[in-house]
């Protein structure tokens, strides 16, 4: 596919257009790709510790792209494709170069939300292409939420049957496999997020008794709140459900959500109140939330998956395993949060300054570019715990009609911030390269 990116449709290209008597210019005839590790990784999935480093040497007659693993070769191929340019006469040129490159942060992600608005497969795949152009390596697939449940589960088909917007707004197992493979071929990990216990309204349509019934006094109101944390059936369901998720999604991590849990419904439910008393939680519903989360974390761990959670899970003092990854998203004083999270020994991912769904007039890419993720009080050891970040495009006002122009090229600013060195900060220089890059992506 890179041949096409650089030279256009192969059919279009005329061969041998050299005018007779033309000055013999140095010609590059081959790009040799060498992967050094014994197991290049071509048949495996990328992971957090994958090597994405590469060395690119461009001289005549053969350019060499060397990498430890195939993932580095992919990154180098993208770079090489950016070096090739066309002159006014249609000749393709590349400057002699020597590049030694590797990413600053290992987790460089994009969050897509397919619950607020369904995103057709084409949209997701186009986005994966764009991610590859910007060396992003994680697709954080926020696949279900309150509004709709498009994930077709084999164990619980009612979830999407009753919870999706319509039969046409579903991701079948084949769709999911396609996304995962398309991503893999671009060195992109797919981390699904099944956000609980809040953000689960759509789950309740297809799974009776999963959500907490809310009460007004003695009477159920007919509406539902977060997942019901006091029933065994809840955990039976989650055990079976996450078993499926663990096998469907090959990445080592699953995102378990845990954000914005509204306690009102729990507080209104007499059974839940009884349980709180029994457990000695008093009126601290954060303890109930933690109780729930801990059980989910245990379930997921038993399937040998690592997990990522939103910051509330940490803030509300749930007992997290030491290898939990905490995603910092709340905008106020996120530097302070990063200090706390890493100070407590947890790995962190930064999303707070990069909510790209918050559009505004003008060149807002500059403010995303200017974020310095390590600008928080902390020791060297702490700073190492910040493994990267994510640009988030929440779907309240986004669907296939406007996703691409809304996300790109603004996300490119985040991509560079996460890959390039700390001292690559010149806005004017970035502007020039970004405008070129944008045209290239088109």
Catalytic residue numbers, as ranges? 260
For residue 22, state whether it binds another protein (rule: CB under 8 A).
Answer: no
Q: Of 295 and 406, which has the nearer Cβ to another protein? A: 406
Interface pick for another protein out of 29, 168, 232, 360 (rule CB under 8 A): 360
Q: Cβ-count burial of 356 within 10 angstroms (0-12 exposed, 13-18 middle, 19+ buried)?
A: buried
**How do strand 92-93 and strand 62-67 relate by DSSP bridges?**
unpaired
At which residue do the structure tokens 């769709």 appear? 175
Number of residues that bind another protein (CB under 8 A): 14
Q: In the window 67-86, what residues touch another protein (CB under 8 A)?
A: none
d(CA 311, CA 168): 34
For residue 166, state whether it binds another protein (rule: CB under 8 A).
Answer: no
For residue 90, state whether it binds another protein (rule: CB under 8 A).
Answer: no
For residue 357, state whether it binds another protein (rule: CB under 8 A).
Answer: yes
Q: In the window 404-423, what residues touch another protein (CB under 8 A)?
A: 404-406
Q: What is the per-residue binding string for another protein in 367-406, x denoting contact by CB under 8 A?
A: ------------------------------x---xx-xxx
The tokens describing 266, both together, are: 């729990």
The tokens describing 78, both together, are: 């993208």
Minimum CB distance to another protein, residue 226 (Å):
25
Q: Of 322 and 362, which has the nearer Cβ to another protein? A: 362
Radius of gyration of the chain (CA): 24
For residue 435, state whether it binds another protein (rule: CB under 8 A).
Answer: no
Q: Of 145 and 289, which has the nearer Cβ to another protein? A: 145
d(CA 356, CA 390): 10
Q: CB of 199 within 8 A of CB of 260?
A: yes
Residue 246, SS3 per DSSP: helix
Tally of residues, the chain: 442
Interface pick for another protein out of 10, 20, 280, 362 (rule CB under 8 A): 362
Q: CB of 143 within 8 A of CB of 193?
A: yes
Q: What is the CB neighbour count within 10 angstroms for residue 91?
A: 11
Alpha helices (H) along 24-172:
70-83, 121-133, 158-163
Minimum CB distance to another protein, residue 393 (Å):
12
For residue 436, state whether it binds another protein (rule: CB under 8 A).
Answer: no
Interface pick for another protein out of 42, 177, 317, 358 (rule CB under 8 A): 358
- Give the binding site for another protein (CB under 8 A): 357-363, 397, 401-402, 404-406, 442
């Amino acid at each position: 596919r890179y041949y096409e990116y650089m030279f256009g449709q192969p059919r279009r290209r005329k061969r041998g257009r050299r005018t007779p008597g033309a000055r013999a210019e140095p010609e590059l005839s081959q790009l040799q790709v060498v992967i050094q590790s014994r197991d290049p990784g071509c048949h495996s999935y990328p992971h957090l510790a994958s090597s994405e480093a590469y060395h690119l040497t461009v001289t005549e007659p053969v350019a060499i792209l060397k990498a430890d693993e195939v993932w580095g070769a992919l990154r180098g191929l993208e770079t090489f494709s950016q070096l090739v340019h066309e002159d006014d006469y249609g000749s393709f040129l590349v400057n002699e170069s020597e590049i030694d490159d590797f990413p600053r942060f290992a987790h460089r992600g994009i969050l897509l939300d397919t619950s607020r608005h369904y995103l057709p497969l084409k949209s997701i795949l186009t986005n994966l292409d764009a991610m590859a152009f910007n060396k992003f390596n994680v697709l954080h697939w926020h696949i279900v939420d309150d509004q709709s449940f498009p994930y077709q589960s084999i164990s619980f088909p009612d979830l999407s049957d009753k919870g999706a917007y319509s039969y046409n707004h579903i991701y079948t197992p084949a769709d999911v496999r396609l996304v995962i493979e398309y991503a893999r071929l671009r060195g992109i990990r797919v981390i699904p997020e099944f956000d609980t216990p809040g953000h689960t309204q759509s789950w309740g349509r297809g799974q009776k008794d999963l959500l907490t019934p809310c009460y007004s006094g003695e009477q159920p109101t007919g509406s539902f709140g977060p997942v019901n944390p006091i029933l065994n059936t809840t955990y039976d369901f989650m055990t079976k459900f996450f078993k499926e998720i663990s096998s469907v999604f090959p990445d080592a991590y699953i995102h378990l959500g845990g954000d914005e849990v509204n306690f009102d419904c729990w507080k209104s439910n007499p059974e839940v109140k009884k349980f709180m008393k029994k457990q000695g939680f008093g009126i601290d519903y954060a303890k109930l939330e933690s109780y729930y989360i801990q059980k989910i974390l245990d379930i997921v761990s038993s399937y040998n998956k690592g997990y990522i959670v939103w910051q509330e899970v940490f803030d509300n003092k749930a007992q997290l395993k030491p290898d939990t990854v905490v995603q910092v998203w709340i905008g106020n004083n996120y530097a302070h949060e990063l200090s706390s999270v890493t100070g407590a020994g947890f790995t962190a991912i930064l999303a707070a300054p990069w909510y790209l769904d918050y559009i505004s007039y003008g060149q807002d890419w500059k403010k995303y570019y200017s974020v310095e993720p390590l600008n928080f009080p902390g020791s060297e050891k702490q700073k190492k715990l910040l493994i990267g970040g994510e640009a988030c495009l929440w779907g309240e006002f986004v669907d296939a009609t406007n996703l691409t122009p809304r996300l790109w090229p603004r996300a490119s600013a985040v991509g560079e911030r996460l890959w390039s060195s700390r001292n690559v900060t010149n806005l004017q220089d970035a502007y020039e390269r970004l405008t070129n890059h944008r045209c290239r992506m088109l």
